[in-house]
Structure 1
Amino acid sequence: MSSVQQQSSSGSDGSASVDEKKRKRMLSNRESARRSRMKKQKQMDDLTSEITRLEMSNNQLQQGIEVKERGYAEIESRNNVMRAQVMELTDRLQSLNSVLQIFEEVSGLAVDIPEIPDPLLRPWQVSYPTQLIPASSDMFLG
């Protein structure tokens, strides 16, 4: 073999070796890019699933809040009605106590007149008289 042939075959061997390395590197890069795309797709899928889960959880929380708000409004409405009733009953009791005081003065009989609780001082501790006031139909007669 001539020296020219040896150089050309070793040159082509060197070139083939470089081409083989280049081909292997390209395949490696493609595989790496494919893994990277798959990893990104999995991350995207995971994030999408997390968004869906969080949106569902958020909707459930919002529904729970709405239920609680409706319940609160209903209780507040009932409380307002009861406060009005307490005021009305307090006014009635004051009127009845006035009648009892007039009766006591006119008849000369001692009547136990209950104290009227002040609902504004302690609305959570409104005390009601537990003692019954005896009354009969002839009590108001002469």
Structure 2
Amino acid sequence: MASSHCLTSSGSECNQRPGAVDERKRKRMESNRESARRSRMRKQKQVEDLLGQVSQLQNANSQIALGINATTQKYVEIESANNVLRAQWMELTDRLWSLNSVLQVVEAVSGLAVDIPEIPDPLMKPWQLPCSIQPITTSADMLQL
């Protein structure tokens, strides 16, 4: 069995006594165990750090989702109000057409010149408003998340 020790090393262990070889082996095993323990601790800390990151990212994701939902709700409310205004504008345009028709009849019957305003066709040029452009003001918290 001593010859196997001589074959596995460069021959330096053959000259040492068996107790010294066992002591070196024991120290190496102890060093390996300590290294493995430190490695496990590093891995455990890394996993804990990653779990902390996951938690932070999930919280951030939840906040973003809440912001998106609030913004979507505001958008739906504004779109609904816009649809109401669009319908009212169309109704008022129809009334104005009717009133202009009455004015044309009055003008034709009375012979007096009546100033009849031109009504823009909303379908032909929807970006042109029939009234002067007024600035639209809003509060800063209207679009806050």
Q: Would you say same fold, with TM above 0.5? A: yes
Q: TM-score range by the shorter chain?
A: 0.7 to 0.9
Q: Any stretches of 5+ residues in structure 1 without a counterpart?
A: 1-10, 130-142
Match of 1:89 in 2: 92
Alignment of 1:1-142 (within 5 A): 14-128=17-131
- Aligned-CA RMSD value: 1.5
TM-score (norm 2): 0.77
Displaced runs of 4 or more, over 6 A: none
How far residue 119 of structure 1 moved from its aligned partner, in angstroms, is 1.7
Identity %: 63
**Structure with the largest fraction of helix:** 1
How far residue 127 of structure 1 moved from its aligned partner, in angstroms, is 2.3
The farther-off stretch of 71-80 and 13-22 is: 13-22
In 1: Cα distance, 2:127 partner to 2:79 partner: 14
Deviation string, structure 1 residues 11-56 (Cα, Å, up to 9, x no partner): 9x61111111111011101110111011001100110000000000
Which of structures 1 and 2 has the bigger CA Rg?
A: 1
Q: Which amino acid aligns with 2:109?
A: V
How far residue 61 of structure 1 moved from its aligned partner, in angstroms, is 0.3
Task: Report the number of matched residues.
Answer: 118
In 2: Cα distance, 1:45 partner to 1:114 partner: 74
